Amino acid sequence: MTMTLNSQVLISSDIEGTLEILRSLRTHERFVEIVKLDPKDDTFKVEDAKLAIEKAYMASEETTVIILAAKSFSPIVQNKLLKVIEEPPPKKEFILITLGKASILPTIRSRLPVKVLSEERLEEELGLDVAQLTLAGVYTFVQEHKRTDAKRMKRIVERIAKEAMMSGKYNLDEKTLELFKNAFVALDVGSPPQFVLIALLLKLLAKKKR
C-alpha cells in the first residue's frame, strides 16, 4: 500500500510519523494542517472543523491538501465535515488521520477510502536501503527527517541497527556497535535528531565492507 496525497482516512498508531511521510510526498501541493495532538489540546473541536471548511472554500490555483489529525473525531465533528468531504471544492483533497477505524462514521467511510497503516508499513515507507547505503542516500534520508522528533528517531536508529546487522555488509565490531548505543544516548540528552542521524549514517557508511 503506497501512501498518496489523495482524499482518504488513514488509521495509524503513529500519527506524527504519518504526517512526516505525507510531508515528504509533497511536490507542488499547498498544505493546510489542523493537528490536535498536544496533550493539553488534543480534541478536534467543531471550531476546528469550521476552520477546515473555510480553508476548503478558499480559491487556489494549486491543489490544496487539507490534513486533519487527532486521536479521535467526535460524531458531531464528522457530521460537520460530511458535506465538504462529500462534495469537495475544486482542487481540494481531505486526509483524516486518527488512531482507530471504529471511531469513523459509516457515512465518512462510504465517501473516503480507509487505509490502516501498521508500524511496519510506516517503517517501510521511510525508504532507506541500509544494505546499499550511499552518500547520496544518506543525504536524501536526512533531508526527509529534518522534523523527526527524538522518540521516532530512536525507532529509526533501532531499525537501521537491525538492518545493518542482518545485511552482512558492514564490519560490525564492538566499536561500531557503540555507534548505535551512542546515538540513543545523544537523543536522550537532547541532541538534535537530524544531527544524530547524519553522524550515525556517515560513521556507518565508513564501516561498509569494500
Q: What mean pLDDT do residues 49-57 have?
A: 95
Identify the pLDDT of residue 42.
81
Residue with cell string 537532547: 190
Q: From the CB of residue 65, how many other CB atoms can be counted at a distance below 10 Å? A: 22
130-150 confidence digits (pLDDT tens): 888 899 989 998 988 888 888
Q: End-to-end distance of the chain based on CA atoms, in angstroms?
A: 35
Mean pLDDT of the chain: 88
**Tens digit of each residue's pLDDT (9 = 90 or more) over 67-125:** 999 988 999 999 999 999 999 999 999 999 998 888 899 999 999 999 988 655 555 55
Residue 179 near residue 170, CB atoms below 8 Å: no
Whole-structure pTM value? 0.60
Pairing of the two strands 8-12 and 64-70: unpaired
